Amino acid sequence: MGRYGNDAGAIMALVRKAEVHRDVYVDPEIFDLEMEHLFPNSWIYIGHASQLSKPGDFITANVGRQPLMASRHSDGAIHVFYNRCPHKGVKIASEPCGNTGKFFRCPYHAWSFKTDGSLLAIPLKKGYEGTGFPDTQASEGLAKVKNVVVYRDFIFVRLSDAGLSFADYFGESLSTIDNMVDRSPEGKLAVVAAPIRYMHNCNWKMLVENQTDTCHPMVAHESSAGTAVKVWKREQGDSTETPMAVQLYAPFMSPYEFYEQSGIRIWPNGHGHTGVANSIHSNYSDVEGYVEQMVATYGEKRAHEVLGEVRHNTIYFPNIMVKGAVQILRNFIPIAVDKTLVESWVYRLVGAPDKLYERALMYNRFINAPTSIVGHDDLEMYERAQEGLTSNGNQWVNLQRLHEPGEADDVTAVINGTSERQMRNQFHAWAKFMTMNMDKRVEAAE
Instruction: Please give the Cα distance from 92 to 313 (Å, whole number).
Output: 35
Pairing of strands 348-349, 339-346: unpaired
Distance from C-alpha of 407 to C-alpha of 135, rounded to nearest angstrom: 54
Give which of 323, 320, 321, 271 is closest to 430, Cα–Cα. Answer: 271
CA angle 422, 311, 256 (to 5 degrees): 65
d(CA 374, CA 236): 21
For each of the domains in the chain, give its residue range(s) and CATH number, in order of start: 45-151 (2.102.10.10), 175-433 (3.90.380.10)
Comparing CA positions, the residue from 24, 34, 15 lying closest to residue 335 is 34
Per-residue CA distances from 398 to 18, 392, 406 (Å): 6, 15, 17
Distance CA 59, CA 52 (A): 8
Rounded-to-integer distance, Cα 117 and Cα 113, Å: 6
Element (H, E) at 379: helix 375-388
pLDDT in tens, the chain (446 residues): 578 888 999 999 999 999 999 999 999 999 999 999 999 999 999 999 999 999 999 999 999 999 999 999 999 999 999 999 999 999 999 999 999 999 999 999 999 999 999 999 999 999 999 999 999 999 999 999 999 999 999 999 999 999 999 999 999 999 999 999 999 999 999 999 999 999 999 999 999 999 999 999 999 999 888 888 888 888 887 777 888 888 888 888 899 999 999 999 999 999 999 999 999 999 899 999 999 999 999 999 999 999 999 999 999 999 999 999 999 999 999 999 999 999 999 999 999 999 999 999 999 998 999 888 788 899 999 999 999 999 999 999 999 999 999 999 999 999 999 999 999 999 999 999 999 988 654 444 34
CA atoms within 13 A on the CB side of 336: 7
pTM for this structure? 0.95
Please give the pLDDT value at position 365.
Answer: 93
Residue type, 193: A
Residue 224: how many other CB atoms lie within 10 Å:
19
Would you give the DSSP letter of residue 143?
P
Query: Which sign, positive or negative, has the C-alpha torsion 257, 263, 266, 271?
Result: negative
Angle, helix 300-308 to helix 290-298, in steps of 10 degrees: 120
User: Which amino acid, 128?
Assistant: Y
CA 212 to each of CA 66, 223, 287, 323, 406: distance values in angstroms, whole numbers, following the listed order: 28, 21, 28, 12, 22
Please answer whether residues 337 and 27 qualify as being in contact, where contact means their C-beta atoms are separated by less than 8 angstroms.
yes
Residue 101 amino acid letter: G
Residues whose CB is less than 8 angstroms from the CB of residue 290 and which lie 6 or more positions away in sequence, other chains included: 352, 353, 355, 356
Work out the end-to-end distance of the chain between its first and last CA atoms, rounded to an integer number of angstroms.
Answer: 14
Collapsing DSSP states into helix, strand and coil, what is residue 187? coil
pLDDT of residue 446: 40
Q: What is the pLDDT of residue 205?
A: 98
- Please state the length of the chain: 446
Query: Which parts of 171-271 fold into alpha helices (H)?
Result: 175-182, 204-210, 217-220, 227-235, 244-249, 256-262
Tell me, what's the pLDDT at 1?
59
